[in-house]
A and B are shown apart, each in its own frame.
Chain A
Amino acid sequence: MATQQTRSLARFMMAPSVVLLFVWMIVPLAFTLWFSFQQYNPLNPIRDGFVGFSNYALFYSNPAFLQSILNTLTIVVAVLLITVIGGIMLALLIDQPMWGQGIVRILVISPFFVMPPVAALVWKNMIMHPQYGVFADIARFFGGQPIDWFGQYPLTAIIIIVAWQWLPFATLILLTSLQSLDGEQKEAAEMDGAGFVSRFIYLTLPHMSRAITVVILIQTIFLLSVYAEILVTTNGGPGYASTNLPFLVYQKALLEFKIGQASAGGVIAVILANIVAFFAMRAVGKNLDK
């Protein structure tokens, strides 16, 4: 029953959010685009000026560039695989009748509330430290050689830390979805003699598909821009072994003051995020329309 008056009122009420987000999206991005065609060095401004696409060429020819894109995608895909598959298994387990389910839920969800720098530092120093970490203690207990995680497998170590932070999120959402599955349907399937596996494939999994889509979308947003975990553990190293695109851009901008190149990298990061987002948003849009 929207009259002309309420409709313009609605627009007026929406305006602050829309304008703020629009400005926030456009203004800094326009700056970045502009800088990406400039030579700009705050420490050495003599050669500043328009340079065409050479920043992109420089960024592209940097051996770290391809590696950082590969690392970015590896982190996203690996963490998604671990958290979605692990999350489904955990959700199925916690959904079983048991004693102390509430406490189990609380324990499992906890890592999600730990701020990234704390998570990274705790894993770096207390768990994965080659000398004093718990993993090293365990290795020594079994007579093995402790692994230098951040020296030998830096990317794997970061993936483990990030997966630890996001597994709780996936589990909680999938568990919530699982618990909304109609009990009678489950019983009917059981009566019909459907085993655990076929019940899972034909009943549970389709029911959870919406939740799984949402988990993938949300995590992708955050995983594309993993930053603090790298900053406090490996600092992108050794070499560029654990540098992702956001971290490479940060290094160029704030450590090397190569603003032009950093901006070119930023533009590439935006394009990459948009490609990923395009597919993710379409999937979610479809799923949310119900």
Chain B
Amino acid sequence: MARAVTTQHKTIATAAAWIVALLIFFPILYTVITSFKSEQEAIQGFNLFPSGTMESYSEVQAQSGYFKFFLNSVLLSVGSTILALLVAIPAAWSMAFSPGKWTKDILMWMLSTKMMPAVAVLFPMYLIFRDTGLLDSRIGLMIMLMLINLPIVVWMLYTYFREIPGEILEAARMDGASLWNEIVYVLTPMAIPGIASTMLLNIILAWNEAFWTIRLTTTEAAPLTAFISSFSSPQGLFWAKLSAASTLAIAPILIMGWFSQKQLVRGLTFGAVK
């Protein structure tokens, strides 16, 4: 039974929520608005109505080759996610369907590796990358991103796989399905939604990772995080260009994020909150 809601109550809640939401969203909104201003307009005080010029966008591409960084971001986030899935799916599968005495402990231990401050191993990793020629290479960074997100990927897949009823597998086994058939025809179709959600969340995390991607790259493999950080030492006023670059850097992942709210909650809380 729904509670009787007075229109007045609803109006007040709506107004309050919208005001707070717009305030929280404002920095993003203002960045998008400023990206359509000319540099002159951008520093002339508060103004929500830009002239609509696109010059900042074309300049960002012309001056700094935005597209290359964008491509690196796509390659790194998708590539590292696929690598992580390849390693994590068997592990999560076995932990979910034939859990042993140590399964819980292994899961907790995996999570605890995320607690290690990246900066503590920055220099060794730098040396290892330099001596193996992986510095500023896409494959090196892909491995790096795979490693730091692997615990979350395993956890997330584990919580999804655990919900697949074990009886189905047993029934398939009774019917004489081989392990391979079991995986291909029974498990995979049931696991695909979980795998897709995991993939989505991990791409977002990898896209926004801003420590290793900045420190282990210079030009060749640098993704958007490194590209944007290079704007931190200002030479003159460049508000509109900065806004255009920022808008381009966050737009794809922002839109992806909007569609993945549910998976985000599940994934980042290890299935504890659904």
Chain A residues in the interface with B (C-beta under 8 A): 1-2, 6-7, 9-11, 13-14, 16-18, 20-21, 24-25, 27-29, 31-32, 35, 90, 93-94, 96-101, 103-123, 125-127, 132, 134, 137-138, 164, 167-169, 172-173, 176-177, 180, 187, 190, 210-211, 214-215, 218, 221, 224-225, 227-228, 231-233, 245-247, 249-250, 253-254, 259, 262-263, 266-267, 269-270, 273-274, 276-277, 281, 284-285, 287-288
Contacts and interface: CB of A to CB of B under 8 A. Distances in A.
B1 A187 contact: yes
Interface string B115-143: 11111111111111000000000000000
A221 B16 CA distance: 32
A6 B98 contact: yes
27 contacts: A10-B97, A17-B91, A31-B121, A31-B123, A31-B128, A32-B121, A97-B9, A97-B10, A100-B18, A104-B18, A105-B261, A109-B258, A111-B27, A112-B264, A113-B254, A114-B250, A117-B210, A126-B31, A169-B268, A227-B118, A228-B225, A231-B232, A250-B122, A266-B117, A270-B120, A274-B115, A281-B112
Contact of A267 (B14, B100, B120): B120
A108 B110 contact: no
B34 to A, nearest CB: 6
B45 A125 contact: no
A78 B126 CA distance: 32
Contact of A224 (B9, B17, B117, B249): B117
B91 A18 contact: yes
A126 B243 contact: yes
Given A110-B254, A249-B120, 7 more contacts: A16-B91, A31-B128, A99-B10, A137-B45, A177-B273, A228-B214, A228-B229
A86 to B, nearest CB: 10
Given A108-B21, A211-B269, A25 B116 contact: yes
A263 B253 CA distance: 35
B108 interface: yes
Sorting the interface of chain B by its residue count into under 10, 10 to 19, 20 to 34 or 35 or more gives 35 or more
Contact of A173 (B128, B234, B265): B265
Contact of A246 (B119, B154, B270): B119
Contacts of A167: 24
Nearest to A175: B265
A117 B150 CA distance: 23
Nearest to B24: A108
B28 A24 contact: no
Contacts of B257: 109-110, 112-113
B13 A93 contact: yes
Nearest to B238: A125
A147 B88 CA distance: 49
A180 B27 contact: no
B24 A168 contact: yes
B224 interface: yes
Nearest to B18: A104
Interface of B: 1, 3, 5, 9-10, 13-14, 16-18, 20-22, 24-25, 27-28, 30-31, 34, 42-43, 45-46, 87-88, 90-91, 93-95, 97-98, 100, 106, 108, 110-128, 147, 150-151, 154, 170, 179, 204, 207-208, 210-211, 214-215, 224-225, 228-229, 231-232, 234, 237, 239, 242-243, 246, 249-250, 253-254, 256-258, 261-262, 264-265, 268-270, 272-274
Contact of A225 (B9, B117, B151, B256): B117
A183 to B, nearest CB: 8
B268 A173 contact: yes
A228 B110 CA distance: 25
Nearest to A244: B119
Interface of B is mostly: helix
B225 A115 contact: yes
Contacts of B124: 27-29, 31-32, 35
Contacts of A31: 121, 123-124, 127-128
B51 to A, nearest CB: 17
Given A105-B261, A114-B250, A227-B119, A20 B17 contact: no
A106 B258 contact: yes
Contacts of B210: 115-117, 227-228
Nearest to B256: A113
